[in-house]
A and B are shown apart, each in its own frame.
Chain A
């Protein structure tokens, strides 16, 4: 399973970025290969408008099975993301990527 996190950094110890559209990075964990990778999102962060849908596009290309974020995508981004078969979990802000992953595994994250 491939899990995407919106994160302020690029490692397990980085905090979850509560923002979806203007997240600093998208961190990806591949459970099969146990690989942690990341995608820099600063280009989208600097767009004046339309950050949510631009990040949704990126997520679409990465095709994760699960997305873990803070406040969750807004209306337009959520609509776009409905087109891929992906589960979205929110309220993971103030957690590190590692803590968010653990909470997800133990079923302690809120699904939207």
Chain B
């Protein structure tokens, strides 16, 4: 079982559209893990059935037991996040503002404030239209993605893949270079970098590749919308050569990307021309690189 992670550094490069296409191409042999939990959207293309759901807790939030509150107001004085206010003569915590630091609980003279585990969202195991399984998650309002949640989603996908003797885990990675991305990457056998020929596309590609290099994972790159800026594209190709990154393919700008998305389809289902051909070739290439 091999783990392939798709990341982009920059948003809007087509990472999820490309990942979803690979999921369709890989069909039943691929367990999908959507670790882009801040803006999870793989489910729009994969038609999940939310077969299994479980609450996910992360971080803490202050809780005031109204029965023992003496309305002294000390909690309001010390809260640096202005998370406690008085409503109808009762002291209440705004869970979105509360950072769970525990200062209020510490100063509360009647010990009526306690920190409780924060319900951050739900995670799911779904059957998807490819005939395979996807592990994904949905965060509540104001909750942030974390290395812990990404690790959870990935480990579940790994277990499912092992049990079902699947060939691949395909991970839609988190954006940026922070904690969730490190967690998306660790354990991977191959990373696909999706970029676009723009100043920020190249800048963020360099940034995220620093991280990939640091944790010793073989990488390949797909330049999406390659024809919209040939000069920038050449610059990216040069960067790939200098860093020994496999140049997987260039995808031309194509409005079929949007048309497919509107219909809830992946590119390889909607398009029957060059895009489908290039994506199929890339997927085959990635499989070869991962196995060797």
- Nearest opposing residue in chain B for A22, CB measure: B151
- Asked if B216 and A91 sit within 8 Å, CB to CB, the answer is yes
Given contacts A48-B59, A50-B179, A74-B182, A22 and B147 within 8 Å (CB-CB): yes
Chain B residues, CB < 8 A from A45: 148, 151
Chain A residues, CB < 8 A from B216: 71-72, 90-91, 110, 112
Given contacts A22-B147, A51-B147, A112-B216, A71 and B59 within 8 Å (CB-CB): no
- Asked if B151 and A74 sit within 8 Å, CB to CB, the answer is no
- Asked if B211 and A46 sit within 8 Å, CB to CB, the answer is no
- Nearest opposing residue in chain A for B118, CB measure: A48
The answer to whether the Cβ of B280 comes within 8 Å of any Cβ in the partner chain is: no
What distance in Å separates the Cβ of B46 from its nearest Cβ neighbour in chain A?
Answer: 26
Whole-angstrom CA separation of A20 from B59 in the bound complex: 21
- Asked if B185 and A71 sit within 8 Å, CB to CB, the answer is yes
Given contacts A22-B147, A51-B147, A75 and B211 within 8 Å (CB-CB): yes
- Asked if A52 and B182 sit within 8 Å, CB to CB, the answer is yes
What distance in Å separates the Cβ of A5 from its nearest Cβ neighbour in chain B?
Answer: 15
Which residue in A19, A74, A110 is a CB contact (below 8 Å) of B211?
A74
Chain B residues, CB < 8 A from A51: 147-148, 179, 183
Number of A-B contacts (CB under 8 A): 62
- Asked if A71 and B147 sit within 8 Å, CB to CB, the answer is no
The answer to whether the Cβ of A9 comes within 8 Å of any Cβ in the partner chain is: no
- Asked if B215 and A48 sit within 8 Å, CB to CB, the answer is no
The answer to whether the Cβ of A32 comes within 8 Å of any Cβ in the partner chain is: no
Chain A residues, CB < 8 A from B224: none
The answer to whether the Cβ of B282 comes within 8 Å of any Cβ in the partner chain is: no
Task: For the complex, count residues of B whose C-beta is within 8 A of A.
Answer: 19
Whole-angstrom CA separation of A3 from B217 in the bound complex: 23
The answer to whether the Cβ of B214 comes within 8 Å of any Cβ in the partner chain is: yes
Whole-angstrom CA separation of A63 from B253 in the bound complex: 53
Chain B residues, CB < 8 A from A50: 179
- Asked if B187 and A46 sit within 8 Å, CB to CB, the answer is no
Q: Which of A22-79 contact B (CB under 8 A)?
A: 22, 45-52, 70-72, 74-75, 78
Chain A residues, CB < 8 A from B58: 48
Which residue in A19, A49, A110 is a CB contact (below 8 Å) of B187?
A19
Chain B residues, CB < 8 A from A93: 187
The answer to whether the Cβ of B126 comes within 8 Å of any Cβ in the partner chain is: no
Whole-angstrom CA separation of A112 from B216 in the bound complex: 9
Chain B residues, CB < 8 A from A52: 182
Whole-angstrom CA separation of A51 from B179 in the bound complex: 9
Whole-angstrom CA separation of A21 from B187 in the bound complex: 11
The answer to whether the Cβ of B174 comes within 8 Å of any Cβ in the partner chain is: no
Interface residues of B (CB under 8 A from A): 58-59, 146-149, 151, 179, 182-183, 185-188, 211, 214-217
Interface residues of A (CB under 8 A from B): 18-22, 45-52, 70-72, 74-75, 78, 90-91, 93, 110, 112
**9 nearest A-B pairs in the assembled complex, by CB-CB distance:** A48-B146, A71-B215, A18-B187, A19-B186, A48-B148, A48-B58, A74-B182, A71-B186, A22-B151
